[in-house]
Structure 1
Amino acid sequence: MLLAVVEIVLLLVVLGLLVTRLGAWSAGPAARRRAAPALTQARWTAAHAEVDGETRVLLRRWHPGPDGSPVVLEERVFETFPSDDPAWEARFTEAMAGARYRCSYLDAEEER
């Protein structure tokens, strides 16, 4: 009788493990399917930041999050120059134009 109870308990434990494992496996692909549209909506955009007296022109890859706010996936520094540079406005305008061009190129490459 004791042996039968032990066998039933072991059988229930094994079945419980199988059910939880199968549930975890089925949730994995579903979660990836939900995340896939967000990654296909990812776009590159030009941005800038002032850090330690230096202007950084950035390339950011982002997608809209579940609540609509941007989620940054990747950030690359495109160009840096001193914030007090006498030719700051010209350098900034040129760097942002170059960054926007690069972003459009990166977006086109990812669509292929």
Structure 2
Amino acid sequence: MLLAVVEIVVLLVVLALLLSRLGVWSALPGTQRQALAPAVQARWAPAHDEVNGETRVLLRRSRPGPDGVPTVLEDRVFTTFPADDPAWEARFTEAMSNARFRCSYLNAEEEQ
């Protein structure tokens, strides 16, 4: 009788480990999963858009939301120039390069 109880306990432990490894028990509701997930730090990244005929190069601070879609926390206008400027491509390339440098600086500053 004691041997049967020990066998059942061992079988239940093995089954629990198997279910845990397969991820069956890891399907938590969203709020619990969000509470257990480590906090993801927001990051700065360059972005751009066009508003009223002007190209805007932005410094965008965002972080992944609980569903994996980035959540924009802040947009800062880094520079603007006319969208029909004959030197648009050169100005855009230089502005994005400078914005990338500024974003790397801001990210490094926040890590300290």
Fold match by TM threshold 0.5: yes
After the TM superposition, which residues 2-13 of structure 1 pair with which residues of structure 2 at under 5 Å, given as runs?
A: none
After the TM superposition, which residues 64-75 of structure 1 pair with which residues of structure 2 at under 5 Å, given as runs?
A: 64-75=64-75
**Residue ranges of structure 2 left out of the alignment (5+ in a row):** 1-33
SS at match of 2:68: coil
- How many angstroms apart in 1 are the aligned matches of 2:52 and 2:74? 21
TM-score (norm 1): 0.66
Percent identity over paired residues:
73
Code of the aligned partner of 1:77: V
SS at match of 1:76: strand
Q: Provide the residue aligned with 1:20 in structure 2.
A: none
**Residue ranges of structure 1 left out of the alignment (5+ in a row):** 1-32
- How many angstroms apart in 1 are the aligned matches of 2:38 and 2:107? 17
User: Would you say 1:58 and 2:50 are equivalent positions?
Assistant: no
Q: Provide the residue aligned with 1:107 in structure 2.
A: 107
After the TM superposition, which residues 80-91 of structure 1 pair with which residues of structure 2 at under 5 Å, given as runs?
A: 80-91=80-91
Q: Structure 1 residue 36: deviation in Å?
A: 7.3
Code of the aligned partner of 2:39: P
Q: RMSD over aligned Cα, in angstroms?
A: 1.9
> May I ask how many residue pairs the two structures share in their alignment?
79
Post-superposition Cα deviations, 1:11-36, rounded to whole Å, max 9, x if no partner, equal xxxxxxxxxxxxxxxxxxxxxx9497
Post-superposition Cα deviations, 1:17-72, rounded to whole Å, max 9, x if no partner, equal xxxxxxxxxxxxxxxx949703xx21000000011100000000000001100101
Compare the two structures and name the one with the higher helix fraction: 1
